[in-house]
Homo-oligomer: A and B are copies of this chain.
Amino acid sequence: MEPRIVRANAGKTKIAPEDMFVGQVLQDQIFVPEDPSRLRVTRVTFTPGGRTNWHAHAVGQILYVLSGVGRYQREGEPVEEISAGDTVIIPPNTRHWHGAAPDQMMCHLALSETDDAGHATSWLEPVSEDDYTKATT
């Protein structure tokens, strides 16, 4: 873990990979694990309709919504609306997805930790239009 300040104008915004996301999603890497830290921090910006595939985390995940209006669903539960200032707490090994609302963009910080074996995220199949467009609670 090297001491440093990473300025806002460093790094490059990346397009999120198509095999893990649906729609146009942009990623800014904030921090990747450096021993002894196990933390990964990514700022993710979902354009309207954009979302993650279904996925799960070995040590869970915290989402902190910075701006906009989005969606979150834990498998077997209703789709929920999330917006700026909300925090989503996702336990280990829980299938879920998150993304923008159909007509609004959403930006969040995604915080996850690696386990003792270095595992963090398991990526699964895309979220269908049918699942994505279900009414929110």
Contacts and interface: CB of A to CB of B under 8 A. Distances in A.
Interface of A: 1-9, 30-31, 34, 36-39, 41, 59-60, 62, 64-66, 72, 74, 80, 82-92, 94, 109, 111, 113, 115
When all copies of this chain in the complex are counted, the total is 2
Contacts of A72: 5
Nearest to A34: B89
Contact of A31 (B5, B6, B38, B89): B89
Contact of A3 (B6, B38, B41, B90): B90
Contacts of A89: 1-6, 31, 34
A93 B85 CA distance: 31
B62 A39 contact: yes
A2 B62 CA distance: 11
Contacts of A9: 85
Contacts of A3: 74, 89-91, 94
A8 to B, nearest CB: 3
